[in-house]
Amino acid sequence: MDSRILVTRSSMPSLEEYVEEIKPLWESHWLTNMGVEHKKLEAALKERLKVENVALFTNGHNALECILEALDLRGEVITTPYTFASTTHAIVRKSLTPVFADVKPDDYTIDPESVERLITPRTCAIVPVHVYGNLCDVDAIQRIADEHGLKVVYDAAHAFGVERGGVSAAAFGDASMFSFHATKVFNTVEGGAVCFKDPALYPVLNQWKNFGITSPEDVEYVGGNAKMNEFCAAMGVCNLRHLDGEIAKRGKVEERYRERLAGVRGVRLVDPQPGVRPNHAYMPVVFGDAFGATRDEVFDALDRAGIGARKYFYPLVTDYACYRSVYSSDRTPVAKDVASRVLTLPMYADLALGDVDRICDVVLGCAR
């Protein structure tokens, strides 16, 4: 049996629970197009996330594209280069121009001061990213947006289950996109959702994700096909029942990592955010010069020991081949520095604490 420790592992219900959930599909033969399981998951998410409006999608990327389209944005969108490719791709694919702000050095989320400096008459929106489950400075961002008449759409792919003062991450801004990919804290195998303030957007989003069909005999938009199927929705219904337990187990894993790595010279961990209920989505470690080994050397040592880690996010979006001829990562020096030093260590609910110790032993063995 392969003893390699993977960087992540999907949470799943028991086979018996999932089979029981999908049994009715063999009677109805309703497998997609917003059936019973789809509606069941939407309702459950509204309750869990404490929001009024939720629309489900095949994945988070399509969800983000559709909300940008539905808001009818035109011009420049201020965002962060410290993110997964999907965030920027969605902006560009909707014929919007991304403008990159730097990040804060303490939690790697977008820096509101950097955002404010970049606003021009062409700016139409801000797309901040909650990173590793760390919430952006939502108050400062909303203040800036209100002052300049901008929309705020959060990429909350990392923030499912996160709350601040009892308010869900889903409730901030004009809309928040979530990814339910298999690697996320909450998954539907593949899937995503948008939570949004304006209820008038619900039919529009459902039309955009269904080819732009507005009636049996008319198509008003050049939409796509981004409907979550019933099997994925059923997986979400099951996984949502176990979410609190999964997050609690992740919390124990993070606690052990912090016991072993906090205070080590040259190792920087993100401090817990005051008043925030975390989801323990990732375990990012930034290696400074004082550690005595580079991030890449630690990565290689872990790989040799049969341990998967990830340089996440590296490189910056602005250093991708499809963007680097237009943008320079030198314009976001904090993000560039963090990207060159960060490593996300294995993190999932069923990661044994003994394996966490094994991982930390390798990491600490790299120090000089």
Assess if residue 225 is contained within a domain: yes
Averaged pLDDT for residues 348-365: 98
CA 215 to chain centre: 33
The DSSP letter of residue 265 is T
Same domain, 117 and 28: yes
Tens digits of residue pLDDT in 49-63: 999 999 999 999 999
Same domain, 139 and 277: no
Confirm if 278 and 162 have CB atoms less than 8 A apart.
yes
Same domain, 105 and 252: no
Same domain, 44 and 161: yes
Q: How far apart are CA 50 and CA 167, in angstroms?
A: 8
Q: Is 79 helix (H, G, I), strand (E, B) or coil?
A: strand
- Would you state the pLDDT for residue 2? 59
User: Considering only CA atoms, which of 180, 211, 223, 199 is closest in space to residue 94?
Assistant: 223
Indicate if the pLDDT at residue 315 is higher than 80: yes
Indicate if the pLDDT at residue 319 is higher than 70: yes
- Would you state the pLDDT for residue 172? 98
- Would you state the pLDDT for residue 3? 85
Q: Is 70 helix (H, G, I), strand (E, B) or coil?
A: helix
Last residue of a domain, one of 241, 256, 281: 241
Tens digits of residue pLDDT in 123-169: 999 999 999 999 999 999 999 999 999 999 999 999 999 999 999 99
Assess if residue 252 is contained within a domain: yes
Indicate if the pLDDT at residue 346 is higher than 80: yes
Q: Is the dihedral of CA 53, 87, 340, 103 positive or negative?
A: negative
Strand-pair partners of 284: 344
Assess if residue 302 is contained within a domain: yes
**Chain position carrying tokens 């005999």:** 217
Domain around 273 = 243-365
Q: Give the residue with greater pLDDT, 153 vs 2.
A: 153
Indicate if the pLDDT at residue 299 is higher than 60: yes
Tens digits of residue pLDDT in 195-217: 999 999 999 999 999 999 999 99
**Chain position carrying tokens 């124990």:** 252
Same domain, 231 and 311: no
- State the CATH number of the domain containing residue 320: 3.90.1150.10
- Would you state the pLDDT for residue 368? 78
Same domain, 285 and 229: no
Indicate if the pLDDT at residue 1 is higher than 80: no
**Chain position carrying tokens 């490189």:** 315
Query: Within the chain, what is the greatest distance between any pair of CA atoms?
Result: 70
Averaged pLDDT for residues 230-256: 98
Indicate if the pLDDT at residue 228 is higher than 80: yes
Same domain, 223 and 262: no
Q: How far apart are CA 212 and CA 208, in angstroms?
A: 5
Give me the number of domains the chain comprises.
2
List helix spans (H) across the chain. 15-28, 36-49, 60-70, 85-93, 112-117, 138-148, 201-208, 230-241, 243-261, 295-304, 333-341, 353-365
Assess if residue 5 is contained within a domain: no
- Would you state the pLDDT for residue 237? 98
Same domain, 67 and 192: yes
| Prior bond of 313 cis (ω within 30°) | yes
Last residue of a domain, one of 188, 206, 241: 241
